[in-house]
Amino acid sequence: MTLEAFEGEVLRGTEWFGRDFAGQRVAVVAPGREAAQIVPEVAATARAVKVFQEEPAWVVPMPVPGPNVLGIAVARIFLRWQVKDPWIRRLLTPDHRFGSRRTAPGLGYYGALRRPKCQLVTWPVYAFVPHGIRTAEGIEHQADVVVLGAGSLFAKEGLPT
């Protein structure tokens, strides 16, 4: 069941930017580095947001000049300060061996995730169905709109040829 199976609207690239999502349930499917930019904007107007984070990223409040190690140190402090729940923090922390070493700016990301209407989902997405997304923990998450990050595993699926 590919992206075409989804009957709602699919937004790609920067189509989500400046959009009013009032009354809509939005699913953001993206790696963490993109979700960090998309989610605060979408959460400002949407009724509910589910963030299907494909891979966590080191998120910094603003670009940090200098070596990666400095940026990661800032990202760690930012994460600990913003996210008090240790399990959620674990889900937002990149793997120290195979994960990305790059940092991504996202001042409002963790703040948006803390909002009651916003939910972080890290289970693997395995199918799109007419009314939502199915993940490997066996649940169908319903949505009206899917925002697909450019770097998402599904970004190449269903593109016009």
Partner 1 sequence: MAYDFDALLRTIKDKQWSLADIDWDAPGAETMTGELRAKMRPFMADLVWIEHVGARGFASLAKKAPTPVIQEIYRYFHAEEQKHANAELALMKRWGMLDEHGSMPEPNINVKLAIKVLDDYGDTLPLTALATLIPLLECALDGALVKFLLEEVSDPVCHQMFRHINSDESRHITADFEVLELIGAGSATKLLTESVGSLKPQIVLGLIVVFVPLINKMRDNIVAMGLPEKKLYNAVKRFSTIGGRGEFTNRIPAYHVLKAQAAMIVDRSHVYHRLLADPMVKLTRLIPPRLLGKPQSWTEEITHEPVAS
Minimum separation from the CB atom of position 44 to partner 1 (A): 21
φ and ψ of 113, to 5 deg: -65, -25
Number of Cβ within 10 Å of residue 9's Cβ equals 14
Q: Does 20 bind partner 1 (CB under 8 A)?
A: no
Q: Which residue in the set 22, 62, 65, 87 belongs to the binding site for partner 1 (CB under 8 A)?
A: 87
C-alpha 131, offset from chain centre: 19
**Phi, psi (rounded to 5 degrees) for 37:** -95, -35
In 3D space, the residue among 152, 155, 120, 125 whose CA is nearest the CA of residue 138 turns out to be: 125
Asked if 100 touches partner 1 (CB under 8 A), the answer is: no
Among 76, 142, 151, 158, binds partner 1 (CB under 8 A): 142
Q: Which of 18, 67, 95, 156 binds partner 1 (CB under 8 A)?
A: 95
Can you give the binding site for partner 1, defined by CB under 8 A? 25, 85-88, 90, 95, 98, 123-124, 126-127, 132, 134-142
